[in-house]
Amino acid sequence: MTEYAVRNPATGELVETFPTATDTEVGAAVDLAAAAYSSWGRTTGAAERAALLHRVAELHLERRDELSAAMVEEMGKPLGDAEGEVDFSAAIYDYYADNAERFLADEQIELGEGEGTALVRRAPVGVLLGIMPWNFPAYQVARFAAPNLATGNTIVLKHAPQCPRSAALLQQIFLDAGFPEGAYVNVYASNEQVADVIADPRVQGVSLTGSERAGAAVAEIAGRNLKKVVLELGGSDPFIVLGSDDLDATVEAAVGARMENTGQACNAGKRFIVVEDLYDDFVARFTAALLAATPGSPLSSLAAADNLGRQVDEAVAGGASLSSAGERDGAFHPAGVLSGVTTDNTAYRQELFGPVAMVFRAADEDDAIRIANDTPYGLGSYVFTPDAAQAQRVADQIDAGMVFVNGVGLDAAELPFGGIKRSGFGRELGRFGMEEFVNKKLIRTV
Catalytic positions? 232, 266
Q: Within a 13 Å sphere around the CA of 442, how many CA atoms are in the beta-carbon half?
A: 6
Helix, strand or coil, per DSSP, at residue 404:
strand
Interatomic CA distance for residues 274 and 324, integer angstroms? 20
CA 60 to each of CA 65, 87, 143: distance values in angstroms, whole numbers, following the listed order: 9, 7, 14
The DSSP result for 158-208, as a single string, is E--TT-HHHHHHHHHHHHHHTPPTTSEEE----HHHHHHHHHSTTEEEEEE
CA 436 to each of CA 82, 114, 124, 293, 418: distance values in angstroms, whole numbers, following the listed order: 28, 31, 10, 39, 12
Q: Which backbone phi and psi does 76 adopt, to 5 degrees?
A: 75, 15
| Amino acid at residue number 48 | E
Helix, strand or coil, per DSSP, at residue 339:
strand
Helix, strand or coil, per DSSP, at residue 391:
helix
